[in-house]
Amino acid sequence: MQFVCQLSCLPNPSDTVLAYFPASPRSVPQSDKRSRKHGYVNKGLLYSTDCAIQITSKQASISLSPASQQQRLAATSTSSRADDKSIASSSTTRALLLGKSSSAMDQLDFERGVCVPFRKYTPETVKNKVLESRGAILSLLGRGLEIVWSLGFYWSTLMYDCFIGRDKEVVPYRARQLRNLLCDLGPSFIKAGQVLANRPDIIREDYMNELCILQDDVPPFPNQIAFAIIEDELGRPLEAVFSKISSKTIAAASLGQVYHATLRDTGEDVAIKVQRPSIEPIIYRDLFLFRTLASFLNGISLQKLGCNAELIVDEFGEKLLEELDYTLEARNIEDFLENFKNDPTVKIPRVYKKLSGPHVLVMEWIDGIRCTNPQAIKEEGIDVNGFLTIGVSAALRQLLEFGLFHGDPHPGNIFAMRDGRIAYVDFGNVAVLSQQNKQILIDAVVHAVNEDYVEMANDFTRLGFLASGTDVSPIIPALEAIWQNSSGKGLSDFNFRSVTGKFNQLVYQYPIRIPERFSLVIRSLLTQEGICFTLKPDFKFLEVAYPYVAKRLLTDPNPALRERLIQVLFKDGVFQWKRLENLIILAKENVAKMSSNPALKVKTQQRSRDWQVERKLDLTDTIKDGARLFLLDAGIRRQLLLALTEDSKLHIQELVDVYRLIEGEIDIPSVASQIVRELPDVTRDLILSWSNSVLSDK
């Protein structure tokens, strides 16, 4: 399917981009890449002369080309540092365009760096949907009074506690009371409670901990109603499609419930997800009321969080309406299948599209053990350490490689397969990180490694945690204290929960807003770390995460990551030999762990031709790019030569140590032949670079 996108976020607002918008990313043969004059689609990316659009089933991630970024930068500012041009340009572009638009939805798009061609949620859509129904005014008044009375009464009890001075001692009771109140007010409020459980910028930590108990384990609605919905969606009787279906729900959530069934034609076991009846009008009505209330709280929200309260409601409403449409969830699953198609350690269920629709989703049955039952996983004889290693690697790939990650990986949504693989279910809540967001996240890691706390604070602004123009100087000492206290304990004692606990206090003290997508990132990491600790209390999350990041930095051909690798290897202009050795050791450790994983061995024996298995650390492209960079970049060449001669001595031994680490990982003749093949192109680039420098000197 094609879409035409006319985007204000493109380099030229009048540009129109024509692209294919598939259910899952498409690839174009290598031979076709150079033949496209205006752009091409490859691995989910549409490239043009001015931008790249990363395509998933729902949205397109915009990344401006360096040339376009520099053009924007020249038009707006000439004082930025040269090595920050691309990010500064993006920020300037966003600020300029935001000045022309006051819409909260537009602001969300600019923050995310994505374009959403087909949007289910807009405030206008919600308003029209609610007001078009008969008796809308009376329904709104009745529901509004119920909400105001319930929340108002609860608020009055909090004020009374403060008045008599017992507000601190009754916090546990009031937190439980809030959780029960949200459950009583219905699915919209249950979902709101789940969101608040991950928003330290909005609610106190002690209340957050109580709201974390909010689970989707709610009373199911009657089978007769559920079966009628399935038959209506299929257009056929149940017995014509399924030979049997469970009489009890396998799981019941705030928005739907799941049954186990068997297909009559093939005998395959499937899971049927059915949406609760008449839930959509309730959700739309509540969202309309939420946003109406938020419009009265904009002043407080701007003061405390640096953003409108309406923007927070829009973030929530957008995700909630996406979860209501099971056709979107089906597309999410297809995207995950595409991303993990060459990974034999991850299982994603197939979707039966012909049997699915907006209110019913039929998927492959996952015959595994939920992570809610750690004892059963251990009793099954599954290699727990190998399983957790797979889980951490899969989570990091979603976050840093694909930019499309599972937004709700609680123990009930993650299965341990009996062959050691990890399986995911429930893809209604997924989040997308743009290429720019991923690069800034990696920047933040680099700045943390280099202990550059000023730039770490600036990363918060770039990611949307702080409003543009906010003075970050008060936050820098707090960030330094949090990071040094956590990293000073060493890799073995580091955990995300302790860091986020301290970060939550920082968020509550300063005007920091956690964007919805990053609240999902935090929740995802915390939840999966919690699963690790439940299955193996002494499991070291970062001992798996660090090697993965090291391998990505060393082997990923993305130019942005190549630049970050250089930043890691140079500190204050001095080459860090020990850091390079550590990166290589960690990267080799990641490859060794994954290649020896029991789940990998089972699957490669079964379908060896279909899977991509790394047996060693492949640094061929890295060395080739490094050689090219050494020849073409005078600054890098000078720094590397200085690295070999710093402190008035030749660092031959360090070079030998590095070579010994990688000699078994590379094919020297192959690297040499590739460099020779590239020599004409490198020579041409070298001559062009030299001629440009001569002309610029004149």
Gap between the Cα atoms of 627 and 685, Å rounded: 13
CB atoms within 10 A of CB 691: 10
Computed on alpha carbons and rounded to an integer, the radius of gyration of the chain in Å comes to 27
Got the DSSP string for 510-564?
TT----HHHHHHHHHHHHHHHHHHHH-TT--HHHHHHHHHHHHHHH---HHHHHH
Which long-range contacts link 95-103 to residues 24+ away (Cβ below 8 Å)? 95/468, 97/8, 97/9, 98/468, 100/8, 101/8
Contact 455, 479 (CB under 8 A): no
CA distances from 209 to 25, 205, 212, 511, 518 (A): 38, 6, 5, 21, 18
The answer to whether residue 269 is catalytic is no
Q: Strands 51-55 and 114-115: what pairing?
A: unpaired
Rounded-to-10 torsion of CA 165, 168, 173, 176: 130
Gap between the Cα atoms of 437 and 366, Å rounded: 33
201, 408, 443, 459: the catalytic one is 408
Which long-range contacts link 678-683 to residues 24+ away (Cβ below 8 Å)? 678/624, 678/628, 682/627, 682/628, 682/631, 682/632
Contact 309, 303 (CB under 8 A): no
SS3 letters across 408-455: CCCHHHEEECCCCCEEECCCCCEEECCHHHHHHHHHHHHHHHCCCHHH
Nearest to 291 by CA among 311, 306, 305: 311
Rounded-to-10 torsion of CA 423, 425, 427, 431: -40
The amino acid sitting at 397 is R
Gap between the Cα atoms of 239 and 162, Å rounded: 60
Strand partners, 422: 346, 416
Contact 291, 105 (CB under 8 A): no
CB atoms within 10 A of CB 698: 4
If you count them, how many residues does the chain have?
698
CA distances from 648 to 573, 577, 643 (A): 16, 16, 10
User: Strand, helix or coil at 54?
Assistant: strand
CA end-to-end distance (rounded Å), the chain: 52
Catalytic positions are 408
